[in-house]
């Protein structure tokens, strides 16, 4: 069962970014499914690896888009992305356990939801004014 379902409240209005955000939540749901099946080690290792790989790809896409359009808060946005990737690196370096897998799941869900709604939500009107969708 999915821990999070994609809905309109998480859209930023840029199709490629929304699709990538949706995929990041699919990774979170895969972690939850593995945990529910009792596979904490795989949930953590595979989930963090998948999240790191796809988050880098997504952040590159997003940052390029913001740079192309002269987003004034790009430096802070990049810093938030770097901090998330550093947190994922720390998670990947820890000994997998059921507790850590659950903590990681909560962190990923909270960070991603909060980042999209608060941080990405700030650039959405900026890009919309420039006709990016």
Tally of domains in the chain:
1
Residue 122 belongs to domain with CATH number: 1.20.120.50
Query: Quick one: average pLDDT of 13-22?
Result: 95
**Using one digit for the tens of pLDDT, what is the confidence trace for 49-60?**
999 999 999 999
Tell me, yes or no, whether 93 lies in a domain.
yes
Domain of residue 110, residue span:
11-129
- Could you tell me if residue 111 is inside a domain? yes
Q: pLDDT, tens digit, for every residue of 105-123?
A: 999 999 999 999 999 999 9
The whole-chain average pLDDT of the chain stands at 92
CB 68 within 8 A of CB 61: no
In this prediction, residue 27 has a pLDDT band, given cuts at 50, 70 and 90, of very high
- Is residue 2 a part of any domain in this protein? no
Residue 5 within a domain: no
Residue 120's closest CA among 3, 21, 1?
A: 21
Assess if residue 4 is contained within a domain: no
């Amino acid at each position: 069962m999915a821990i999070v379902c994609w809905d309109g409240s998480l859209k930023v209005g840029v199709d490629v970014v929304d699709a990538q955000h949706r995929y990041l939540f699919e990774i979170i749901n895969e972690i939850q499914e593995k945990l529910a099946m009792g596979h904490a080690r795989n949930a953590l290792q595979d989930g963090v690896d998948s999240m790191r790989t796809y988050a880098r790809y997504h952040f590159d896409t997003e940052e390029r888009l913001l740079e192309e359009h002269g987003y004034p808060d790009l430096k802070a946005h990049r810093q938030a992305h770097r901090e998330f990737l550093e947190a994922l690196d720390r998670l990947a370096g820890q000994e997998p356990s059921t507790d850590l897998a659950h903590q990681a799941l909560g962190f990923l869900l909270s960070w991603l939801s909060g980042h999209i709604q608060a941080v990405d939500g700030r650039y959405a009107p900026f890009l919309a004014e420039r006709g990016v969708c």
